[in-house]
Amino acid sequence: MSKKPEQSSSATDDLFRQAMQDVTPLPPDNRIHTSPALKKRTLPRSIASQVQQSDDPFSDHGANNIPATSYLRPGLNSMTLRKLRRGNWPVEDVLDLHGDTLEQARATLFRFLQHAVHQHYRCVNIIHGKGWQAGGNEGVLKIHTRHWLPQFPQVLAFSEPPVNAGGGGAVWVLLKVSAD
């Protein structure tokens, strides 16, 4: 195999300048500024163990085998849910419930939502996984997480994110921001 002779750096610079002479740079205001990616965060197990049953407002009553794909608190405009689906609110924090038992997930979700409201977060991502069961049923964490979310008073809406952001294994949650 023969190697191509290397051109001198000044010759390649000249070639590059000639190739780029008709190119017009983009104006600065046409550029998209991306925010840094959020790191997945799991609340420490110690927080989940500190929750007492009396602090837990979540009930399992009425949870069926079909998880809701979205929720909108009564009295809100359907445009709110559409904006959430489109990602109009940036995700400010992420909770990953993979590997948790149902009781651990309940406690961790409750504390996470309390923390998010206290931090004035508007939108959070909760990853529960798909958790397929035998017989084609949905995962227990997926069903219960989506059943518990409407029971938290500051949850205004939730929706499945697009496939590239978790799809059916996650849920974007829109929270009420208090005016403290």
**Percent of the chain residues topping a pLDDT of 90:** 40
Average of pLDDT values for 87-97? Answer: 93
Domains (ranges, CATH) in the chain?
A: 72-180 (3.30.1370.110)
Provide CB contacts within 8 A for 85, sequence distance 6+: 70, 159, 172
21-30, 65-74, 160-169: least confidently modelled range: 21-30
pLDDT tens for residues 39-68? 555 555 544 444 343 356 666 556 566 677
Measured CA to CA in angstroms, residue 21 lies from 15, 17, 71 at distances of 10, 6, 54
Query: What's the rounded Cα separation, in Å, for the pair 17 and 11?
Result: 10
The pTM of the whole model exceeds 0.85:
no
Average of pLDDT values for 132-147? Answer: 77
Using alpha carbons, select from 169, 178, 176 the residue that is nearest to residue 94: 169
Residue 168 has a CB neighbour count (10 Å cut-off) of 16
The answer to whether 75 and 90 have CB atoms below 8 angstroms apart is no
- Asked if pLDDT for residue 125 goes beyond 60, the answer is yes
